[in-house]
Structure 1
Amino acid sequence: MRLGLPTLILLLAAFLALSITAGVSFGAAPIPFATVWSIVADKLYAGLFPITWSGGQESIVWDVRFPRVILALLVGAGLAVTGAVLQALTRNPLADPHLLGVSSGAAFGAILALLHTGLVLGLLTVPLFSFAGALLATAAVALVTRLTRARSADRLVLSGVAVAFVFTALGNLLIFLGDPRAANTVVFWMLGGLGLAQWQHLIYPAGVLLVCLAVLMLKSRELNALAMGDETAATLGIAVSQFRFLLFVVTALLTGVMVAFSGAIGFIGLMVPHFVRLFVGGDNVRVVPLSAAFGALTLIWADIAARLIMAPEDMPIGIVTGLVGGIAFILILRES
């Protein structure tokens, strides 16, 4: 089923507003929708509504759940866009930052910063180390692909899986060598979670997402050409090697920063682009921005499920996406 783009945008905007409201409202202590938006409106413009809520409700909405939902939106959008670009770039429907080892590299960099170097660069330490790890893993996949002369899509995925195992092992080694008390926190973080979201930190994933998404949308027509083959892209005047390098750097940056703030959350980048293509086809001019929207929605609802399944405890969100994504992965394998 294909929907017109304006209709789809309106539906997505309405559902996104509903999802954000639900994400702030649902939890161990549910808060009515009307109260949620009254609190938000009061924070944005004091005195707009009479105060009928408690201080505890205000703290839950504004200090805990709202930044968490916004972080879910940003991370889901970033990972989904990365998956869409990697699938077109590698011409492989199974490509995503998790399978290609990029997430594992980002997690390795973040663990190194959290357990061994400390915040030597302030709040930017973990995002920068995570980006460096993601870029290193991307380079490792390219190197393994070149050394093994892997040409087919399935061999590329196997190269990524091998690199992911290596960086996962290195990350586990860093945990083993680190402070056991801090290691428990890192292990929980590796399973994926949004519980540490804070307003003052959201500027970093938001800024990176806006810049990278703008670049990828501007380059989406060139990405269409590259998806048809290097020869086709070169015929159209695209400098293939430089363009591929740019895309790898942008996707590594997106993955690294998102993993730094949410932990390793798998399968969003694999599932969402396939779902988007069912509605709008394979044109990346549409797939890239709509993957961002659907990725945001997917992770918001995955986070709601993670909070409600074992309430009042938070289940790591990576468990939810892993269970759903694993089933989706099997279905994709069946169809591919």
Structure 2
Amino acid sequence: MHKIAITLLLLLLFTVFSAITGLSFGPAALSNSQVFECLLGHCPDKIGDMVVWQVRVPRVLVALVAGMGLAIAGAILQNTTRNPLADPYLFGIVSGAGLGATIANLSLGDNVNIALPLAAFLGALFAITIVVLVAKILQRIEQLLLAGVAVSFMLASVTQFILYFGEPFATNRVIFWLMGSLSRVDMSNFYVIGSVLLVTILTIIALHRQIDALLLGDESAASLGVNVEKLRLLMLGLCAALTATIVAYCGGIGFVGLMIPHIVRQLIGVTTLKLVLGSALIGGSFLIWVDIIARSALANAEIPIGIITSALGSLFFLFIMVKTRRVN
């Protein structure tokens, strides 16, 4: 227990370091001392103050909570379905949220900000409902992931069909958004995502023992007094809400929920409380550094962060498959 506490403390310090480092990167030429002065409220000029407080601080904070949320969603999906490859992206939640947000973007135009999270949530809820229904028909919880992959491709094709007939300017905006980007986030986005994240974490803390019971199998969990179906649906709904909120403001960011929980299990453990705390810290730090790379890799352009996470995630997915094959 002492070792786990030290590990979590080190991860917390690294998360703080990552956030501070993220404030130093950007197209505006600001030195570290200028950034520090602006944070203390003694910015030498108004432009520097605007860049730090209206661009960099919201971007780093949104990257932090978005990374935390995606990693926690992946951890909970993996524990509740007992599938180490479960991830919001592979479960169809991201594709469903993307479809809902795409429809809202193209139909509402400039008035989309208020409706975007709701549209993304409804799309994610639609996706997860289809996945659960398919798994119920098959009567096998192990088939949830395969159903999620199928639903993900289906909803992605519907999204592409809608974009094909959309107005060109709006379509280009949506396509760039679907790749994942933090270039347009603001503090209001941080407050919304942070609120949903807080509710999710508190709910998980309250139910972490019941979620741990699911790791023993449905029959064993039921014998311990856990309402398996109700708990699983609640967790799926929470993951859908959290992922949809993140997708609404940050676009499609895949595989964070796949990679981070696997790393945390090696460092801390598999039980829900440890896994969620570790995933939150590493996931937040990870997405901050991915955003730093996205802003800094090219001189006059910004790489969508979804491209980077998908590239890393696909390699990680193959690594897990090879490792699993060797163990078996």
- TM above 0.5, yes or no, is yes
Alignment of 1:118-267 (within 5 A): 118=109, 123-147=113-137, 149=138, 151=140, 153=142, 155-267=143-255
Matched, 1:94 2:82: no
Deviations 1:180-228 (A, max 9, x none): 1111010000000000011233211111111111111221111110121
Is the CA contact 1:78–1:255 (under 8 Å) kept in the aligned structure 2?
Answer: yes
Q: Residue type matched to 1:312 in 2?
A: N
| Distance 1:97-1:283 versus aligned 2 partners, 3 A rule | same
Is the CA contact 2:135–2:141 (under 8 Å) kept in the aligned structure 1?
Answer: no
Deviations 1:90-131 (A, max 9, x none): 1111000001111100100111111124577x7431101101
Aligned to 1:45: none
Q: Residue type matched to 1:151 in 2?
A: R
Q: Which one of the candidate residues 46, 55, 63 is aligned to 1:55?
A: 46
1:202 alignment partner, SS class: helix
Is the CA contact 1:119–1:125 (under 8 Å) kept in the aligned structure 2?
Answer: no
Is the CA contact 1:96–1:267 (under 8 Å) kept in the aligned structure 2?
Answer: yes
Matched, 1:325 2:313: yes
Distance in 1 between residues matched to 2:109 and 2:173, nearest whole Å: 14
| Distance 1:305-1:145 versus aligned 2 partners, 3 A rule | same
Alignment of 1:307-322 (within 5 A): 307-322=295-310
Q: Which one of the candidate residues 96, 100, 125 is aligned to 1:109?
A: 100
Aligned to 2:14: 15
In angstroms, what is the RMSD of aligned CA positions? Answer: 1.7
Deviations 1:124-167 (A, max 9, x none): 311011011111100111122233x26363x4322111100111
Distance in 2 between residues matched to 1:279 and 1:190, nearest whole Å: 32
Percent identity, please.
39
Q: Residue type matched to 2:247 in 1?
A: V
Is the CA contact 2:180–2:250 (under 8 Å) kept in the aligned structure 1?
Answer: yes
What is the TM-score of this pair, normalised by structure 1?
0.92
List 4+ stretches of structure 1 deviating above 6 A: none
1:104 alignment partner, SS class: helix
Which structure 1 segments of 5+ residues have no match?
43-48
Matched, 1:278 2:263: no
Aligned to 2:27: 28
| Distance 1:14-1:175 versus aligned 2 partners, 3 A rule | same
What is the TM-score of this pair, normalised by structure 2?
0.94
Q: Residue type matched to 2:260 in 1?
A: V
Is the CA contact 1:69–1:300 (under 8 Å) kept in the aligned structure 2?
Answer: yes
Aligned to 2:293: 305
Distance in 2 between residues matched to 1:117 and 1:97, nearest whole Å: 26
Return 26-35 or 80-89, whichever deviates more: 26-35
1:281 alignment partner, SS class: coil
Q: Residue type matched to 1:139 in 2?
A: T
**What displacement does 1:30 show?**
4.8
Return 230-239 or 169-178, whichever deviates more: 169-178
**What displacement does 1:84 show?**
0.2
| Distance 1:158-1:18 versus aligned 2 partners, 3 A rule | same
Which structure 2 segments of 5+ residues have no match?
none
1:4 alignment partner, SS class: helix
| Distance 1:162-1:150 versus aligned 2 partners, 3 A rule | farther
Distance in 2 between residues matched to 1:33 and 1:245, nearest whole Å: 47
Distance in 2 between residues matched to 1:214 and 1:32, nearest whole Å: 39
Q: Which one of the candidate residues 275, 279, 283 is aligned to 1:291?
A: 279
**What displacement does 1:316 show?**
0.3
Alignment of 1:58-73 (within 5 A): 58-73=49-64
1:185 alignment partner, SS class: helix
Distance in 1 between residues matched to 2:79 and 2:12, nearest whole Å: 26
